[in-house]
Structure 1
């Protein structure tokens, strides 16, 4: 486990009727402030690892950039918690007030709701025809969980992974579920990994925000060990994304576009 991602602390544990003093691992919470073209853009509270991926993934998710080369320079001061981004020539940041405006619109006769106006421009309707078997759904979830040493040590993080139907391509961990997804997105952009045929595996609840993040990344299948919300399911239907939840043991539920999951 990365030594910066957790700290050791003496705690008191109650078990089997007794109090005992033990050492425990506690996950690290770290603020990172992003400046874009010398203007403060956002502060993210995160797990201190893979900062470059998180910043790039976050800016792509927010529609500030589309590709890695839209950034001319990225400098991260890990000690003080600042990331300085200089956009490539000709790239400008849109009015930042747009990032806090809720937008409700429609598409093809369906009611598609987004929390923020920039989501309309960055969330993609999936065209993926990737398929996955039921056994692969269960196996990928187990593989992601087995590979998260930080979660095993602290229990205080979200896990996420980009996978093919047969194996995990890359996994990331963070205290913030959105940060974990941004790190994956940033990794794929930095390494020019095509995601249209990939699968997103996630440890947390599938909220509308998580589903929208998945749409921005561009995957067609989202697997989770937890439940979805009703708005997330509506968005999954509209965005042609297969949402699978409650992957536990040998069972799961398919909430949208079940054609991609086979026996």
Structure 2
């Protein structure tokens, strides 16, 4: 990857398009999300190449290393050198880090969620996934407020339509939000920021712009958050994992409705639901 030319470091770029609307053709400039390849080295060993949005990349590196079990805390890192021109992040740890070089070396992490990424996660989830026992609760109105906060911070999505977004919230407010072309990257950026700044994750929820895949659910468990809320659907495997890992998964938040798929005790009133007979 180091031999490839690098592009501008903006989150978005302008490209000409030909647009068709209501029977008319118009030439215009459009905002396009930037796709950027970042290669991570740990103690001079090539670990992975992540295709990402070039923002908050230090947070991304710390979050990725922690979620994959390479480090357990930021104190293990002696230095992190980012070269935006070369597209590299070189991490030096205070002591030797042992990882399966044959598996990790030259692993390419795509911005989409294809076979390579899923295999990468399932190889490590037994070690890095953890059960979440946080007793945080939300009312239905707070669920809607969390999604409203997510939408309010979605500037890059509104401009390009080409990124995912994740936000860390309490029942009272949005703490931080991150965007990326890779949904897992947006979560890693949140995790990395929290690790570096000593932010407690108890009493928080994660709001997410896309569907809740097994990959997203595993990432939430690694971060240690008990509630994940999304506008779209979860997968069946994600629900199974949420049941096992103690995470409340909420999907299809639209209008004044949503579905709770696992651990409904965290949502006020959910355990009083009547059985619908059709």
TM-score, with length taken from structure 2: 0.86
Secondary structure of the corresponding residue to residue 40 of structure 2: strand
Instruction: Please state how far the C-alpha of 1:117 moved relative to its aligned partner.
Output: 3.3
Q: Which residue of 2 aligns with 1:92?
A: 97
| CA shift digits 1:8-59 (9 cap, x unpaired) | 1121111111001111100100000000000110000000000100000000
Q: Which residue of 2 aligns with 1:231?
A: 237
1:119 aligns with 2:125: yes
Whole-angstrom CA distance in 2 between matches of 1:3 and 1:52: 14
Is the 8 Å Cα contact of residues 58 and 182 (structure 1) preserved in structure 2?
Answer: yes
Q: Which residue of 2 aligns with 1:59?
A: 65
Over the aligned positions, Cα root-mean-square deviation in angstroms equals 1.6
Runs of 4+ deviating beyond 3 Å: 96-100
Secondary structure of the corresponding residue to residue 52 of structure 1: helix
Residues 74 and 147 (structure 1), Cα distance of their counterparts in 2 relative to 1, 3 Å cut? same
Q: Which residue of 1 aligns with 2:165?
A: 159
Instruction: Please state how far the C-alpha of 1:176 moved relative to its aligned partner.
Output: 0.2
> Structure 1: where are the runs of 5+ without partners?
101-113
> Structure 2: where are the runs of 5+ without partners?
1-7, 106-119, 270-278
Whole-angstrom CA distance in 2 between matches of 1:64 and 1:196: 23
Whole-angstrom CA distance in 2 between matches of 1:200 and 1:99: 28
Instruction: Within 5 Å, give how 1:191-202 maps onto structure 2.
Output: 191-202=197-208
Is the 8 Å Cα contact of residues 47 and 104 (structure 2) preserved in structure 1?
Answer: no
TM-score, with length taken from structure 1: 0.91
User: How many residues of Structure 1 are paired with residues of Structure 2 in the alignment?
Assistant: 248
Q: Which residue of 2 aligns with 1:106?
A: none
Whole-angstrom CA distance in 2 between matches of 1:96 and 1:249: 48
Whole-angstrom CA distance in 1 between matches of 2:71 and 2:147: 31
Q: Which residue of 1 aligns with 2:76?
A: 70
Instruction: Please state how far the C-alpha of 1:115 moved relative to its aligned partner.
Output: 5.0
Residues 55 and 98 (structure 1), Cα distance of their counterparts in 2 relative to 1, 3 Å cut? same
Residues 212 and 38 (structure 1), Cα distance of their counterparts in 2 relative to 1, 3 Å cut? same
Q: Which residue of 1 aligns with 2:28?
A: 22
Instruction: Please state how far the C-alpha of 1:98 moved relative to its aligned partner.
Output: 5.5
Is the 8 Å Cα contact of residues 141 and 201 (structure 1) preserved in structure 2?
Answer: yes
| CA shift digits 1:83-136 (9 cap, x unpaired) | 0000112x4132234669xxxxxxxxxxxxx95232111111011000001111
Q: Which residue of 2 aligns with 1:107?
A: none
1:245 aligns with 2:251: yes
